[in-house]
Amino acid sequence: MTIQIEGTIITPHARPDCVAAAVIPDNLSLIRTSVAGGCVRTDIQGEQLRSIIASVDDYLMNLAIAEDICLYGSR
């Protein structure tokens, strides 16, 4: 039996295009990132719970760093 795990993370940003561009290169095949309105939308799909948890953890750290760079790097 195969289990399919899916989830979506939507985060608002002052510069969503910049943030998305910063995190997309780090995405694994199970992560898709796009910009919707003033938000970055990330869809996650996979079969291995441990891999998804590790990927989400990495993604959230990268997201926080990208947000800081996009906000403070433009000043």
| Mean pLDDT, residues 56-64 | 94
Tokens matching residue 52 = 């998804």
Q: Output the pLDDT for position 66.
A: 95
pLDDT at 37 over 80: yes
Q: What angle do CA 60, 63, 66 make, to 5 degrees?
A: 155
| Mean pLDDT, residues 2-18 | 95
Residue 57 banded pLDDT, cuts 50, 70, 90 = very high
Q: How many domains does the chain have?
A: 1
26 contacts 41 by C-beta, under 8 angstroms: no
For residue 43, give the CATH number of its domain.
3.30.310.50
2 contacts 47 by C-beta, under 8 angstroms: yes
Residue 2 banded pLDDT, cuts 50, 70, 90 = confident
Q: What percent of the chain has pLDDT over 90?
A: 73
Residue-number span of the structural domain to which 32 is assigned? 5-72
